[in-house]
Amino acid sequence: MELDFAKIQEERLPTLYEVLIQKTSVPVDLWSFYTYLSQFPYAINYLDFWIDLMAHLRLSKDYINGIRGSLLEESNFNELENQQSSQEDQNSNSENVSVTTSVLLNALMEEGHLDFENPDRVSKFLQGKADYSPKLSQLLDGWKRHSGIYDANNNLNIDNGNLPTLLDEMLKNKSKRNETSQITTKQLLNNALQICNTYLYSTEKSAKYLSNISEETRMKVLDSVVNQNRYDPEVFEELKATTYQLLETDCFPKFLSTVALHNIHDELSDWRFHSEKGAIDNTTLRYRGSRSPFSNHTTLSRLIFGLVWLGIGFWIGYVLIFLKYSRAIRVVTVVPFAIGCYLIICGMYQVDIIYSWFGVTQVLTYKDSDSKILRSNDEEHTTTKEKVPFLIALLGGGKRTVKIEHTFIKKLLQRRGLWCLLLVVISTAIFTVIFSCVPGFRI
């Protein structure tokens, strides 16, 4: 499957889903997408919401996996008690618990209540509204009678509808027994409430308010989480679909057109990352990126220096013409014209020809090696910055360049680099021929 995916990446640009599940590589990885959206305050809120929602989904999966593991451990624990017990009635009771727990786990799996391949059943299970079959209901009754979670004097009357509450107690017992933490329904609910507080209340109360969500959808989610105490992933399903659609139709195409078609980018401000640090000391505020204008203001610097070199070429050409130098000597104007055309065309197309030859591109923002705000997999890409060719360093590429790991984008930029090279050659030839072939006239 991995080989098939790698082959597909050689034939096309990635999709948004592939970027979000972190299947893609530089320059179209999730960190690059996040960095690009950081310049649009409202757009980045949707990506933040998506990331938090995926974290909530992982918590739900961990909770379900914890239940499955606890049921298995409960079964093994009771089997061990059965082996160590010397009393006949105790052996019988433990054996019943073990068998009931094993059969219960199999039944829950068979009916899809603990299988995320069937999200609807899992969501109903987390809500405590699952429709259990008669067989499973009978197993649940037997398991609750034999389990040691509640004794005979317990006044709590927990029916099948409140099974997650009962399983929470089992998870707590497992945590005490193994001295490990387990995800509980309370944590899931708190996480769902935190998502609502951050994104859904209002611009005054929510730090990352989602502005383009309909009021009906917003109130429906808030009512489900706040009033009905729902925490299952299905409660956010409509918001998830809306967020994905907005990212896919509005944000992602612009991101691809920026990073897949160009290998030089003006450096983006990292204001958002500094603001998320909280208190900032003076050393943090001090800029540590590249001082080269070719790195900070890539497009503008190339255009300005290109015009300067063209001006130098015109000045040399006119001087040689009006001093009536021979045509052979006037050919030297090819050097300033070539440099000027190279810089201007690269700046206009935002494709550096030398970068495309070496298969590198500029990242959207400089990442300080001392910064605490780095992507989790940043170590994978540090080697790409260790040895930068001299020509790239000369053009401001020593701090912000990384190797292009996506094969299709590398080939695409190489083709665009060849097109830019053709334009440079043609424009340089035109200027050189004009200033070399016109008759000289000494003033």
Q: What is the DSSP letter of 401?
A: E
Is 114 inside a domain boundary? yes
The last residue of a domain, from among 182, 216, 240? 182
DSSP SS3 for 403: strand
More confident residue, 341 or 228: 341
The last residue of a domain, from among 182, 205, 227? 182
> Do 431 and 297 fall into the same domain?
yes
Is 262 inside a domain boundary? no
Is 111 inside a domain boundary? yes
Residue 136 has pLDDT above 80, yes or no: no
> Do 170 and 295 fall into the same domain?
no
Q: What is the DSSP letter of 269?
A: P
Query: What is this structure's pTM?
Result: 0.75
Of the ranges 210-219, 227-236, 243-252, 356-365, the best mean pLDDT one: 243-252
More confident residue, 70 or 112: 70
How does DSSP assign 184-252, residue by residue?
A: -HHHHHHHHHHHHHHHTS-TTT-TT--TTS-HHHHHHHHIIIIIT---SGGGGHHHHHHHHHHIIIIIH
Is 326 inside a domain boundary? yes
Total domains in the chain come to 2
Beta partners for residue 403, in sequence order: 360
Is 243 inside a domain boundary? no
Is 79 inside a domain boundary? yes
Return the pLDDT at 201.
87
Return the pLDDT at 316.
94
Domain enclosing residue 428, as ranges: 290-437
Is 271 inside a domain boundary? no
pLDDT in tens, 71-116: 666 555 455 455 545 444 444 444 444 445 555 555 555 555 555 5
The last residue of a domain, from among 151, 182, 213? 182
> Do 301 and 172 fall into the same domain?
no
> Do 426 and 301 fall into the same domain?
yes
Count of other CB atoms within 10 angstroms of residue 226: 16
Is 192 inside a domain boundary? no
Q: What are the tokens at 234?
A: 């299905």
pLDDT in tens, 194-223: 999 999 988 888 889 898 888 899 999 999
d(CA 259, CA 288): 24
Return the pLDDT at 8.
75
